[in-house]
Amino acid sequence: MCLPVSSQTHDNAANSSLSASGEPSHQPQPIGQGLADLHQTRDDVVAEVMKAPKRRVDNVITHLSDSAHLLLTHARIIEEVSSQYRKTAREGMLKEAGVLTLGLGLAAAGTYGGILPAEIAGGAVATSVLCAGGLKWFHTSELRALEERLTDSEGLGSAFRRTHAREVGEADEYAASVWQRIRDPLRMSLASVGLANIASVSESEINELRQMIDEDIPALRRLASPTHFGTKK
């Protein structure tokens, strides 16, 4: 061990000096103190090294928790916007089917009942098909415009405020940071894939994610809590 020159000089002087009675003087021994400090530092380093595996496990659990929060926010917002899209699409299909069915049914009833001539019944069928086609075109345009509104920044922001009303009301900074991280990637993903091709997220799947965040991850943290290694005295 290399000691400062001043310490070595002082140490030599202390070791060579004796009292008048021939007894050693009771001056401090810097080398002994330095060795004790060295041993203490070594024990501290060993303790920190022993903690490293536990810390790595804790980092993995933290990453898992962060990923679960990201996935849950993704799922809730996607389900919010896609459910609105599916509802509008379903209502449009029902209207189209209703118009077509009504026209064909009236034409068939009039023809078989002898109420309407075949020419008028055929015209009714053609009119029904045209009306259903017109509704189909109108609903397709409506769905396209609705998808653009739902998947732009303002639409996704509204969906986040609806699905995370409590967090927004409490000014939850973590929820806000998660939203800031996924907002742009989510918008680009929805724009490229399309809401019509997004599978619905069931309530049971969302509950499983919540259970993972609320119960499973805290249990893992308790199992992987680092042991506090003491230092050697």
For residue 127, pLDDT beyond 60:
yes
For residue 31, pLDDT beyond 80:
no
The tokens for 6 are 């001043």
pLDDT score for 19: 44
The tokens for 34 are 């330095």
pLDDT score for 5: 44
Q: Could you tell me the pLDDT band of residue 52, with boundaries at 50, 70 and 90?
A: low
For residue 119, pLDDT beyond 70:
no
**Alpha carbon distance 91, 101 (integer Å):** 15
For residue 181, pLDDT beyond 80:
yes
pLDDT score for 229: 38
Instruction: Tell me the percentage of the chain whose pLDDT exceeds 70.
Output: 67
Calculate mean pLDDT across residues 21-28.
49
pLDDT score for 85: 93
User: Is 123 strand, coil or helix?
Assistant: helix
User: Is 18 strand, coil or helix?
Assistant: strand
DSSP state, 214?
I
pLDDT score for 32: 58
The mean of the pLDDT values for the chain is 77
The tokens for 98 are 């209703």
For residue 107, pLDDT beyond 90:
no
Other CB atoms closer than 10 Å to residue 21's CB: what's the count?
5
Residue whose C-alpha is closest to residue 224's, from 60, 46, 50, 69 = 60
Whether this model's pTM surpasses 0.75: no
Tens digits of residue pLDDT in 53-91? 666 778 888 899 999 999 999 999 999 999 999 999 999
